[in-house]
Each structure stands twice: as structure tokens, then as C-alpha cells.
Amino acid sequence: MNTEYFTLLSDSLRKHLAFSNDEIQLIFEKGKLKKFKRGQFIINEGSVIRKTNFILEGSLIAYFIDADAQEHMIQFGIEGWWISDIHSYTFGGPAKYNVQALESGSLLEISFEDMQWLYKNIPALEKYFLIITQRAFAGFQERIVNNLCLSAEERYEAFKIKYPKIELRFPQKWIASYLGMSAEFLSKIKNKRI
Amino acid sequence: MNTEYFTLLSDSLRKHLAFSNDEIQLIFEKGKLKKFKRGQFIINEGSVIRKTNFILEGSLIAYFIDADAQEHMIQFGIEGWWISDIHSYTFGGPAKYNVQALESGSLLEISFEDMQWLYKNIPALEKYFLIITQRAFAGFQERIVNNLCLSAEERYEAFKIKYPKIELRFPQKWIASYLGMSAEFLSKIKNKRI
DNA sequence: CGAAAATTTGACATGACTCAACTGGAGTGG
DNA sequence: CCACTCCAGTTGAGTCATGTCAAATTTTCG
């Protein structure tokens, strides 16, 4: 198996808790390695996919399309991040969002059932997911707060500071969507034409 | 101990997973029963309070005050809900929000350390918190989505459907803040004076 | 290289905010 | 238990931040 991928997963896990190499190996064995191409859908809105994905390479976005056919970005993900549709993976309902690749790459796919098995065999794993879910939760709280009390320009400035790498790697129209403003308006902010 | 309180906690826990009476008893023993009065602060922004709270009676809100002295509601809570500041409880940093009582009542306070002890002694408890954190996470995702693609009026309509009881119990100005609109504008929506 | 997508730019439209004045009702102290 | 505050809610006028649309330009990628 690719050592680079192993390192990526072990770094992500060990950032929060201690795991043995055997335990990480176990996760790789339970998971399925999948390649994806730019533009490919990993999850389609409406389908039930009880799987979560650890991104090994490339970039993905989670977004949904509203009644006016406007796309809204929920979340982005690059190598080293977990991404799934929580309604489908966690609760078993239909996915509320699309997950699509913006850059080709690969991921490690783990089913809900296999994850329950892994929880039983790797004591720290459930706590790890509690911690990263809490972090994601705190992140979404912050995003709501920013949407409530910052102007469009302030939100963009805060975003650049928080995610300097992301800014360079994702198309501007998706960043605008993530920040809750129109693509045109973000363009005006960047070029000081407000 | 008050059987009504016991039932409230056991219902909340058993809604998601199986727990024995002894296990629930153990949680009550580790927790501290605290009464609070209308207007009282449970958590002050900036302080470190590694405690989480299960509301037994009354209502609380979590909010913060921005640079323009505007209050923004993050979350509300009534009996049967857990509330804390995640930055302080989970990560040990200073609280980002105030938690204040809108109605007098009481709560069960559990420290972070005691919770770790409870996790070790009640196998299902950690999974329970993973589940409710995931639910809260999904809720915040939905709130972001609504803020991105619904008008103020649509957000209010969706809120009334999702939280019919909350609507009647919390002052309108806080509901407006929760929904990301001014109190005046919500008043106009309700009275069709737009 | 060429088509399709992303970005830029300007003109114009509008949803929601701010401010300010007024009203009503709930909590509190004498 | 009444009167007095005082905060929540209402209403209107005026304003502004941001959206929409459409056309021009640049970039991306098959």
C-alpha cells in the first residue's frame, strides 16, 4: 500500500488521539480505495449512501441546488479531510447534498457498518469522530456567526486568513457561494469596484 | 431525587440508545443540580467553563455580542436539551458565547472530567454524544442552507414548522436574531406590512 | 486550437436594515 | 394591588448593501 496515503491518514488520526500502526492498517483494510475524476459525482442528492470518505488526493465539494436552480456550497474538502453527506451516512436517509470532484484524485471509502465494526476494534476511533464532529460543529457555528454579523467583504477577509490554501485552489464562484454572496459581488470586492 | 427529572434525562438518552436505570442514576450522581433565575448568566463570554448542562426546567439562550454591540442568538434550549459553549467545554478555551436564562428553572451540570469518567463507565454514552452532536451538526448545516437560499419570510415559515413550541416561548426579538433578520423586519413579516 | 466555463464590469433593482416615534403589557416596589 | 417603569413590539420613512441581468473578456481544459 501507498505509504504516502498511510501517512496522510495516520497524521489525521494522531493529530487528535494515539493510534497504533496496526489500527491504522485495519482502517485501510476495511476501506475501499477509489479513484475519481474531475467532475465526477461521489454522492448524488436523493440517493442513500451510507459511506464516509477520507480524501487521499484531489478536492471535493458538497453543495446543493435550490428551487431557483442556484447552487449553494456547504463544504469543501481536500486531501486529509473526511467528507460525506451526514443525512445519508449517519441517519440513513436520502442525501441532501451532492458531493462532486473539482480535481481528480482518490479517496478511502468506509461503510457505516464497517465503521461500527472498527469502533468496536479500535477503542479510540469513536472518540476521534466525536472530536472531529465537534470541531466541524464549532466551525459551522462560526460560519453562522460570521454570516450574521460581518459584511460580505469582512467574511471574505476572514476566509482568506482561515483557509489560505483553499482560496487558491477552488474556483471563485464556489468560494462566493460558500461565503453566502453572489459570484459577481465577490469579484467586485476583490477588484475594489464596490 | 425528583422522578420527573429522572424521566426527562432517561427519555433523552433512550431516544437514541439503550441505557439502564443504574447508568442514568450514575449520571445524576456525577452531575450537580443547579437552580437558575430568569436573566441569570450560566456562562459568560470569555470565561473558561468546562461544563455541559442538561436543562431540567426553564429556558436558556446562547448568544454573543458583536463589535457593533448587536446581540446574535446562536442557539436556544428548553428542558430536555443539552447546552454549553463548545469552545469552552470541548476544547478548554474561553467561551465564545453567553448562555443566559430567559425563564427560571434548573439544570444538571456535568464537568468535562466527570464526563470522561462517565464515558468509561457507561459504554453507550460516548456514542450517544456522537449521535446528538451529529444531529446538532446537521441542524446547523440546515440553518446555513436556509440562510443562503430562503428569504426572511420563508425562513420564518420554516422555523414555525420546525419549532412550533419554541415560537410561542421565546421573545420575538430573539427569534428574529436566530433567523438572521432585524426584530423590526420580523414584526413586519408577521403583520404583513412589508 | 476551439468550446465552454469562469470572471469581470456596469447599470439597475430590491430586500432588508436603521432610526425614530409610538404603543402596550409585564414585572416590581411602595 | 396599584402605579410606574421599562422593555418588547409596531409602524413608517428613508437608505444601503448586495443581488440580478447582460454583455465583454479571460481562462481552462478536452
pLDDT, tens digit (0-9, with 9 covering 90-100), for A56-92: 999 999 999 998 889 999 999 999 999 999 999 999 9
Please tell me the distance from the alpha carbon of residue A12 to that of residue A131, in angstroms, as a whole number: 12
From chain A, pick out residues whose CB is under 8 angstroms from the CB of B66. 148-149
Mean pLDDT over all residues of chain A?
Answer: 95
pLDDT digits (tens, 9 = 90+) for A12-40: 999 999 999 999 999 999 999 999 999 99
| A177: closest chain B residue by CA | B148
CA neighbours within 13 Å on the CB side: how many for B143? 24
DSSP state of A93: S
Task: Enumerate residues 105 to 164 of chain B having a beta carbon within 8 A of any beta carbon in chain A.
Answer: 119, 126-127, 129-131, 133-134, 136-138, 140-141, 143-145, 147-149
Per-residue confidence (pLDDT) for residue A97, from 0 to 100:
95
Instruction: Using alpha carbons, select from B48, B42, B49 the residue that is nearest to residue B107.
Output: B42
| A127: closest chain B residue by CA | B126
Assess whether pLDDT exceeds 70 at residue B47.
Answer: yes
Please tell me the distance from the alpha carbon of residue B131 to that of residue B12, in angstroms, as a whole number: 12
The grid coordinates of residue B55 equal 436543562
Per-residue confidence (pLDDT) for residue A67, from 0 to 100:
87
Whether the CB of A21 is less than 7 Å away from nucleic strand C comes out as: no
Assess whether pLDDT exceeds 80 at residue A1.
Answer: no
Q: How far is B85 from chain A (nearest CA, A)?
A: 9
Whether A74 and B137 lie within 8 Å, measured CB to CB: no
Name residue B104's amino acid.
Answer: S
Rounded mean pLDDT of B6-13?
97
Per-residue confidence (pLDDT) for residue B192, from 0 to 100:
84
Assess whether pLDDT exceeds 80 at residue B1.
Answer: no
Task: Enumerate residues 65 to 84 of chain A having a beta carbon within 8 A of any beta carbon in chain B.
Answer: 66-68, 70, 72, 74
- Say if strands A71-78 and B98-111 run parallel, antiparallel, or are unpaired: unpaired
Per-residue confidence (pLDDT) for residue B194, from 0 to 100:
67
Rounded mean pLDDT of A129-155?
95
Whether the CB of A185 is less than 7 Å away from nucleic strand D comes out as: yes
From chain A, pick out residues whose CB is under 8 angstroms from the CB of B127. 119, 126
Mean pLDDT over all residues of chain B?
Answer: 94
Contact pairs from chain A to chain B, CB under 8 Å: 81
Please tell me the distance from the alpha carbon of residue B67 to that of residue B42, in angstroms, as a whole number: 22
Whether A138 and B86 lie within 8 Å, measured CB to CB: yes
Q: Which residue is nearest to nucleotide D17 (CA to C1')?
A: A151
Per-residue confidence (pLDDT) for residue A69, from 0 to 100:
87
Per-residue confidence (pLDDT) for residue A180, from 0 to 100:
96
pLDDT class of A192 with cuts at 50, 70, 90: confident
Instruction: Give the 3-state secondary structure of B20-64.
Output: CHHHHHHHHHHCEEEEECCCCEEECCCCCCCEEEEEEEEEEEEEE
Whether A148 and B72 lie within 8 Å, measured CB to CB: yes
Q: List, in sequence order, the alpha helices (H) in chain B.
A: 3-14, 21-30, 86-89, 112-121, 123-149, 152-162, 164-169, 172-178, 183-190
Rounded mean pLDDT of B36-40?
89
Q: Which residue has the cell 496522510?
A: A8
Rounded mean pLDDT of B39-57?
94
Assess whether pLDDT exceeds 90 at residue B108.
Answer: yes
DSSP state of A9: H
Whether A72 and B148 lie within 8 Å, measured CB to CB: yes
pLDDT class of A178 with cuts at 50, 70, 90: very high
Whether B134 and A133 lie within 8 Å, measured CB to CB: yes
| B69: closest chain A residue by CA | A149
pTM of the model: 0.93
Name residue B62's amino acid.
Answer: A
Q: Which nucleotides of C are covered by protein (CB under 7 A)?
A: 6-11, 15-20
Rounded mean pLDDT of B63-82?
92
